[in-house]
Amino acid sequence: MICREHPLRILRYSLKNIWLLIFPLLRGVSVFHFDPAGIYAWVKGAWMDIAVLGVILVYGYIRWYFSEITVTDEAVMHSEGFIVKIRRTIPFEKVSSASTETPFYLVPFRAVTVRCDTGAGLFKSADMKLMVTQRAGETLMAHIPDVKKEKAFKSLPKPSVVSVLLFSVFFSSGFSGAVYIAAFFFKGGDIAHDILSIAMSRITEQAEHIYVKLLSGIPKAAAMTGMFFMGAWLLSFIMNLLRYSHFQLSADTDCINVAFGLVKRRRHRIMTKHINYIDMRQNLIMKLCGAVTVNISCPGYGYDSHLPVLMPISREKNLGSINEYPSLPRDGRLKYRPRFTAFFTYAGLPAAGIVLTALLYGSAEALPLNLADLSLFLVIMAEIPLIWLTMVKTVALCTSGLSVYDDRIILRCSKGTSFHTVIARRENVVMAQIKQNIFQKLFKKCHVVIWLSGESRSKYKVKSLTESQGIEIRKLIQHNSIK
């Protein structure tokens, strides 16, 4: 099949330069009055702008005309450019993921955007991105392997509306962070306002007058800041809800199909053999509820304004039932785990922070002007994340670890406040690195850092294993690379 891109592409090609005319156009529109003589006068005055607009549109047309797509049984080729001609060729067997995007505004024009990605090329950008007619898009996608109905996994959990809703709540620009910051400004502003107004009333009898004039703005500003953070989160939540609505998932041994989106419908085809690793993410609430979000690392999936999510939120026990899927663990037990004596490595800093903050509060009681109230509030606000982090790191200590099997590696660790369960094929493990500081050297402990192949740097650290365990893991991984 040989075809051109969708004619709408002319506008896209022209739009890159059309902004140059925005100010002359606005000036022209502001002085334009409709009458035949006026049109003539306007054209006479703006002929240069009109000529430039014409050149830009002709340039867009010429670029579109020379942009040609060829689809054969082996590869898809896209040639563009009319002076310097560039022809990209992607063999279908090298495609790691392909997707179609149909935004609502392209539906009336029967246009669709097709993206093809391989393991090479620039990070976070598609190797080939084409806007074509729906028919051409279907012809192209027909060459990309699809899930075969007879081979499809029947027991894959179906992402429900509730799971998408919860996913949007948890992954909307830091839900807990937004709530925390909003609380800080609401309550902190309120307390600061009380303290300052009392202080002012003590200092002068005119305090009430000054308070009304000067200080009434403080809680308002604080409230506005708090509302801003909540508003930002709400916006992010709505965007996520629209982005991940109607989440559909199907898979067989070779391919995974994922579709989602209400306003912009995205349909992805992911080749299983190109998946670098699976990353199951949880926060503390999800961990306690036994819920999990399944993400994957595959070139071309999850870099265009959406997360590389395979399953929004699902119960961990439900994942265990999909044994047909080759890369998921069949047992959760890990061979190499840190001992409980590693508590200080995991949770030492936040635990020390809790004690230190409490001690600081003790010394703050001597402060004048009722500042003790403010210090109590500040201590509570400081203690909340510290206690949270201590809980997270304690749970991480109990769950972290690593297992190396013949065909895969499974590791559990925490990064910040999130928990990760990573499953990767042995051939996708790039390196095992042992890290020791002077104290760890003394107590024969180490951190094991596992580097995995991927478009971006992917490394996961399991803290505080014994030195002998670290050496054993490194040997196992090296043995595999020698094989």
Partner 1 sequence: MKKFKPDKNALLTMRVSVLVVSLLIMAAVRLYIPVNIIVAIIGIAVLTAVIFADCVYLPLYFAALSYETDGKSISKRSGVVYRSHKSVKLSTVQYTAAVTTPFSKRTGLNFLVLFVYGGQLRLLFLRYDDFNELIRLANGSGKELP
Residues that bind partner 1 (CB under 8 A): 70, 72, 74-75, 77, 83-91, 93-94, 118-121, 127-128, 453
In angstroms, what is the minimal distance from the CB of 51 to partner 1?
25
In angstroms, what is the minimal distance from the CB of 458 to partner 1?
13
Taking the C-alpha atoms of residue 228 and residue 249, their distance in angstroms, rounded to an integer, is: 35
| Residue number with CB closer to partner 1 (14 or 96) | 96
Parallel/antiparallel/unpaired status of strands 128-133 and 111-117: antiparallel
Which DSSP symbol is given to 329?
-
In angstroms, what is the minimal distance from the CB of 365 to partner 1?
59
Is 167 within 8 Å of 244 (Cβ atoms)? yes
| Residue number with CB closer to partner 1 (101 or 127) | 127
| Residue number with CB closer to partner 1 (77 or 179) | 77
Is 156 within 8 Å of 322 (Cβ atoms)? yes
In angstroms, what is the minimal distance from the CB of 465 to partner 1?
29
What phi-psi label fits residue 288: left (phi over 0), alpha (psi between -120 and 50 degrees) or beta?
alpha
In angstroms, what is the minimal distance from the CB of 48 to partner 1?
23
Q: Is the alpha carbon torsion for 465, 471, 472, 474 positive or negative?
A: positive
Taking the C-alpha atoms of residue 226 and residue 221, their distance in angstroms, rounded to an integer, is: 9
In angstroms, what is the minimal distance from the CB of 90 to partner 1?
4
In angstroms, what is the minimal distance from the CB of 275 to partner 1?
15
In angstroms, what is the minimal distance from the CB of 85 to partner 1?
5
| Residue number with CB closer to partner 1 (89 or 394) | 89
Beta strands in 306-444 (DSSP E): 309-315, 401-404, 408-415, 418-425, 429-435
In angstroms, what is the minimal distance from the CB of 299 to partner 1?
9
| Residue number with CB closer to partner 1 (70 or 318) | 70
| Residue number with CB closer to partner 1 (12 or 88) | 88
Which DSSP symbol is given to 107?
G
Torsion angle of the four alpha carbons 372, 375, 376, 377, in this order, in degrees rounded to the nearest 10: 130
Task: Concatenate the DSSP letters of all residues of 135-193 into one string.
Answer: HHHHHHHTTS----TTTS-S-PPPPPHHHHHHHHHHTTTTHHHHHHHHHHHHHHHHHHH
What phi-psi label fits residue 191: left (phi over 0), alpha (psi between -120 and 50 degrees) or beta?
alpha
Beta bridge partners of 97: 117, 270
**Helices marked H in 365-437:** 371-399
Taking the C-alpha atoms of residue 11 and residue 198, their distance in angstroms, rounded to an integer, is: 63
> Edge to edge, what strands does the sheet with 248-251 contain?
128-133, 111-117, 97-103, 264-271, 255-260, 248-251
In angstroms, what is the minimal distance from the CB of 150 to partner 1?
29
Which DSSP symbol is given to 3?
E
| Residue number with CB closer to partner 1 (127 or 252) | 127
Taking the C-alpha atoms of residue 109 and residue 66, their distance in angstroms, rounded to an integer, is: 21
| Residue number with CB closer to partner 1 (49 or 80) | 80
In angstroms, what is the minimal distance from the CB of 122 to partner 1?
9
| Residue number with CB closer to partner 1 (127 or 279) | 127
C-beta neighbour count of 396 within 10 angstroms: 24
| Residue number with CB closer to partner 1 (118 or 421) | 118
| Residue number with CB closer to partner 1 (74 or 365) | 74
Beta bridge partners of 111: 133
